[in-house]
Amino acid sequence: MIIETKSYPRAAVIGNPSDGYYGKTIAFVFSNFAAKVQLYHTPELEIIPAELDTTKFLSLNKLVEDVTLHGYYGGERLLKAAIKVFSDHCKQCNIQLDNRNFTIRYSSDIPHRLGLAGSSAIITACMKALMAFYGISIPKPVQANLVLSVEVNELGISAGLQDRVAQAYETPVFMDFNEENMVRNGFGIYKELDAKKFPNFYIAYRHDQSEGSEVLHNNLKARFRIGEQKVIDAMKEWAGLTEQFYKAMQVNNSDLMHQLINRNFDLRRSLVEITPKNLEMVELARSVGASAKFTGSGGAIIGTYSNENIYKELQQLLNGKGIEILKPKICGYEN
């Protein structure tokens, strides 16, 4: 029997990047793309490489192009680290695993290194497959912690919990990472949200803006740790924006949600440098009346639009600049 699991890209609605700094965020996952893992019983344990794990290139230029767009590593290391963390967790919890081996492979069409949490989607799908194979259950908050530990502790990638929580729950989530609760319980306070209360969202991205989240997080974490007041104040404001957005959702105040999304980006811009092509996406979206902010660390944006005419105008404008745009199919939303 072949076990197949999926996990989806994450879009940060509001609050990012405060999730790694005891802040508050709202995020969802959407099924327009997916990371898939297949796992089946075999005599030996084997990890099968995927396209992004290739070591053969047509030319030197092709190698440089691949590294520029996808980084130095594919998903094979993610699976290897995820399997180790899963095994360690089971041992620590006295969960007995049988001696069966397996072959595991992955595939993903999530746009890579654009702030859509493609790497954690692969790890999350792997964790789901391992749980199904061994017939065990791990609580969703703990699942998110394990996925984060794969990247942070095993692979040395700077990241926060937001992506992993959204992918574990597969429904929109309000996340409160206040320090007291994180220290006491090891995870935040997570509240599942009704996607029907969201405004109209679009997501847009450009393939030539690939950048790993570690670039942003390494910079901010260093500044946060030394107590830079501007960074500390920004984290508090991002948390406040999340609270305001949640309240605006309850009363269907789309105008306020629009303003809060724009403020989220403007605050970010005051804190870190924004590359010209990333800034162009935001400015183009705002020029037709849409709101805009990053979905994650950069390369993709999310925003709201009030009607179909604005969306069509936005689509035409962005496509003319080589920028892809879509309406996210939000997981957890029942038509």
pLDDT tens readout for residues 211-268: 555 555 567 888 888 989 999 999 999 999 999 999 999 999 999 999 999 999 999 9
Beta bridge partners of 5: 37
pLDDT band at 335 (very low <50, low <70, confident <90, very high): very low
Q: Are strands 35-42 and 24-29 parallel, antiparallel or unpaired?
A: unpaired
Contact 193, 24 (CB under 8 A): no
**CATH placement of domain 2-192:** 3.30.230.10
Least confident of 180-189, 213-222, 300-309: 213-222
Residue ranges of the chain that CATH labels 3.30.230.10? 2-192
**Residue 135 in this model has a pLDDT that exceeds 70:** yes
Question: Can you give the pLDDT at residue 214?
Answer: 52
**Residue 5 in this model has a pLDDT that exceeds 60:** yes
Phi and psi angles of residue 254, each rounded to the nearest 5 degrees, phi first: -70, -30
Q: What is the DSSP string of 144-206?
A: HHHHHHIIIIIT-----SHHHHHHHH-S-EEEE--HHHHHHHSS-EEEE--GGGS--EEEEE-
For the residues 63-67, what does the mean pLDDT come to?
A: 81
Tell me which of 74 and 281 has the higher pLDDT: 281
Model pTM score: 0.91
Q: Which residue has the tokens 């290739």?
A: 54
pLDDT band at 18 (very low <50, low <70, confident <90, very high): confident
Q: Which long-range contacts (CB under 8 A, 24 or more apart) does 282-291 make?
A: 284/314, 284/317, 284/318, 284/321, 284/323, 285/202, 285/204, 285/314, 285/318, 286/262, 287/317, 288/313, 288/314, 288/317, 290/202, 290/314, 291/257, 291/258, 291/259, 291/261, 291/262
One of 3.40.50.150, 3.40.50.720, 3.40.710.10, 3.30.70.890 is the CATH number of 196-326, namely 3.30.70.890
Considering the candidates 163, 176, 208, 266, report the single residue annotated as catalytic: 163
Question: Can you give the pLDDT at residue 130?
Answer: 98
Task: Indicate if 163 belongs to the active site.
Answer: yes
Residue ranges of the chain that CATH labels 3.30.70.890? 196-326
The predicted-structure confidence for 152-168, as pLDDT tens digits, reads as follows 999 888 778 999 999 99
Q: How far apart are CA 257 and CA 320, in angstroms?
A: 27
Q: How far apart are CA 115 and CA 284, in angstroms?
A: 19
Question: Can you give the pLDDT at residue 319?
Answer: 96
Query: Of how many residues is the chain composed?
Result: 335
